[in-house]
Structure 1
Amino acid sequence: MGRIGVAGLLPLVLLACVSSDRPEPRRPAAARPNRRPPPRVPEPPPAETRQCLADLDTDRVEYRVLPRQDLGGGCVVVGAVQLLDIGVPVSGLTSMRCPLARNFSNWVRYGVAPAAKQMLGSELTRIESYGTFNCRPIAGSGRLSEHGRANAVDIAVFVLADGRRVSVLGGWNDGSNEERRFLRTVFKSACRRFTTALGPEYNAAHANHFHLDMGGRPLCR
């Protein structure tokens, strides 16, 4: 009886061993919540920029606020705008830091335009520039230009209603007496509105334009 009982139990023991070797069925993983990072809230502009934008609004200047840019190498642009209408069309204006844009607009409106009418006897209808934002060093130097911060503008030509084109290159030394006097007058007025104003008497690289910026140390040459 003892042997029969043990023999009878062997199939049950073997069945239990086989059952215990089977892997347990996998339970479906709990669904993970789709967590997205919260939307990035743009930083409010600094107080200087807010005041500058308010000044542009007061002066009825049309402009577009531009986002922050970081192109590396120190070329970081913050608090910039693009001037759309300051009363006189200006070619080549892209990104400009707001204080530069404000001072440039005032220079054109209250300095250049009246001088053209009074000294040259014709309305100012257009200004041609060599641009504003350009991520590059100062020519012949390893230092970053203020153009790399959208903090400078280069002015080359003043166009009048009577068809005359008064260029810095052609008019500074070789223009008529009125044109030479006009260019020197508007350049001196720029020295009062911008931190740095460089013209043909500074060096050969500025023979064809006025460089105007709001950075660095005060310099008028």
Structure 2
Amino acid sequence: MAIPSFLRPRTLLAAAAALALSACFSTPEAMKRSGSKPVAASGTKRPQPPLASSFASPDAQQCAIDLKQAGVRFTPLPNQDHGGGCSSIDSVKLLDIGTPVTNLGAMTCPLAKSFAAWAQYAVKPAARKYFGTEVVKIETYGTYSCRNIYGGRSGRLSQHAYSNAIDVSGFVLADGRRIMLDGGWQGDRASQDFLRALHKSACRRFGTVLSPDYNAAHYNHFHMDMSGNGYCR
């Protein structure tokens, strides 16, 4: 039945309001908080399929609660499909875990949770035990990177391609000393004991931990990720 002409403007306004509300409720909360703006469509970019907002699953929500209860400051990041099979799903940007950390990018929430606990309950006590001082910085080679496994022949994507891995290169002490995997792993006794204690502790917290003993590609860092089931080398 045709809509009377005197009702049409009101009806059109109601429809427009409904569309506006629909657009608001479909925007991921993490994007609204971060102030991100939609990227305008371009003929040079292939559109990616839409992804669910971050922390939509019960496991991810519980992980965020655990981080908050541990006193960790972080920002939830919007889910992203980076192309080439690489992605960042239910990831966070760590802001403060009690110790400064270099080069941190997107990390899956479980990885961030395990890393923050490792820094608090393994790295700090080990520095006091073996060097009698505090760790004031943890140095890393980063987290997310869309690439294959280093030193591997399978051609498989690294866990870094899923924001699910971190490479730790060394530690700065309050007295200025830098205990690096490159040199320290086979260095003086205190450095060896310190780094091996951290490796052992990491193997209890992460799914996969690779040290300089694994292969030449890992001579200067610990690779730690949440895949696997306690693979430790």
Please tell me the TM-score bracket, short chain as reference: 0.7 to 0.9
SS in 2 for 1:148: helix
| Aligned counterparts of 1:93 and 1:200: Cα–Cα separation in 2 | 21
Q: Per the alignment, in what secondary structure is the counterpart of residue 56 of structure 1?
A: helix
Partner of 1:169: 182
* 1:146 pairs with 2:123: no
The gaps in structure 2 that reach 5 residues or longer are 1-7, 29-52
SS in 2 for 1:112: helix
Determine the C-alpha separation between the residues in 1 that align with 2:105 and 2:221.
17
Letter of the 2:127 counterpart: A
SS at match of 2:214: coil
- Pairwise CA distance, 1:217: 4.2
Aligned counterparts of 2:216 and 2:131: Cα–Cα separation in 1? 27
Match of 2:46 in 1: none
Structure showing greater radius of gyration is 1
Aligned to 2:103: 92
Misfit runs of 4+, over 6 Å: none
Deviation at 1:184, TM superposition (A): 0.4
Residue in 2 that maps onto 1:206: 218
| Matches of 2:62 and 2:229, distance apart in 1 | 23
Structure 1 unmatched runs, 5+:
1-29
Deviations 1:145-167 (A, max 9, x none): 10000000000010000111000
- Is 1:81–2:88 an aligned residue pair? no
User: Matched residue of 1:119: which SS?
Assistant: helix
Residue number among 81, 101, 121 corresponding to 1:70 in the alignment? 81
Letter in 2 for 1:214: M
Following superposition, the deviation at residue 41 of structure 1 comes to 4.3
Q: Which of 117, 124, 132 is the aligned partner of 2:128?
A: 117
Q: Secondary structure at the match of 1:117?
A: helix
**Mapping for residues 24-103 of structure 1, pairs under 5 Å:** 38-39=22-23, 40-42=26-28, 43=53, 45-103=56-114
Q: Given the two structures, how large is their TM-score scaled by the length of structure 2?
A: 0.77
What SS does the aligned partner of 1:71 have?
Answer: strand
1:182 maps to 194
CA distance in 2, matches of 1:56, 1:153: 17
Greater Cα offset, 192-201 or 39-48: 39-48
- Name the structure 2 match of 1:21: none
- Once the two structures are TM-superposed, the CA of residue 216 in structure 1 deviates from its matched residue by 3.2
Distance 1:52 1:132 in 2: 18
RMSD of aligned Cα (Å): 1.9
Task: Give identity over the alignment, percent.
Answer: 49
Shift of 1:120: 1.2
Pick one of 117, 132, 135 that aligns with 2:146.
Answer: 135
How high is the TM-score relative to the length of structure 1? 0.82
Amino acid at match of 1:142: G
- 1:28-69 Cα shifts (integer Å, max 9, x gaps): xx99x6865831243461111111100011011000000001
Partner secondary structure for residue 91 of structure 1: coil
Alpha-carbon distance between aligned partners in 1 of 2:173 and 2:229, rounded to the nearest angstrom: 33
Structure 1 SS opposite 2:149: coil
**Secondary structure of 2:171's match?**
strand
Question: Of residues 195, 205, 226 in structure 2, which corresponds to 1:193?
Answer: 205
Q: Are 2:188 and 1:158 aligned?
A: no
